[in-house]
Amino acid sequence: MTDICAMNIETIEDAEPRSVWQAIRRGFGQRCPSCGEAGLYRAYVKVRDDCPSCGAALHHHRADDMPPYLTILLVGHILIPLVLMTEQAWHPETWVHWAVWIPSLVLSSLWLLPRLKGAVIGLQWANRMHGFGGEEDQPVEP
């Protein structure tokens, strides 16, 4: 058991280093975190199994709930203060709030979600998490 663990650590240490910020930046740009050439998605937030440019396996990602969490966190912390400042400054009618803020909320969330998911996948790829280091991810025991 310890031999297998020691072998995995040696394999990871011997592998070429991956730039975390470059991978996050490429992922945020919805590009492959490995090469930055091909698109990360085959649909809106459906990640390709492999990169068509460099062949890097992308199906290992486990972004799960992190991108929606980050999207809600950022959009909420940006838009809610704007709503409150608008109300304090101009006291617009309620329908104006609805007409401005609901589309802003929806569009900014739809814009941000694939970018944040790409950034999370880039982070996982750079840190060789969930099979991105060449080892298969171990199933979680209940």
What residues make contact with Zn ion under the rule CB under 5 A?
Answer: 32, 34-35, 51, 53-54, 56
Nearest to Zn ion of 53, 127 (CB atom): 53
Q: How far is the CB of 132 from Zn ion (least distance, A)?
A: 12
Nearest to Zn ion of 32, 113 (CB atom): 32
Q: CA 140 to CA 142: how far, in whole Å?
A: 6
What type of residue is 129?
A: M
What is the tally of helices (H) and strands (E) in the chain?
Answer: 4, 0
Helix (H, G, I), strand (E, B) or coil at 47: strand
Residue 7: CB atoms within 10 A of its CB come to 11
Nearest to Zn ion of 105, 129 (CB atom): 129
Of 134, 120, 127, which is closest to residue 30 (Cα–Cα)? 120
Nearest to Zn ion of 34, 71 (CB atom): 34
Question: Scanning the structure block, which residue is given the tokens 């802003």?
Answer: 104
Q: How far is the CB of 43 from Zn ion (least distance, A)?
A: 18
Q: CA 101 to CA 113: how far, in whole Å?
A: 18
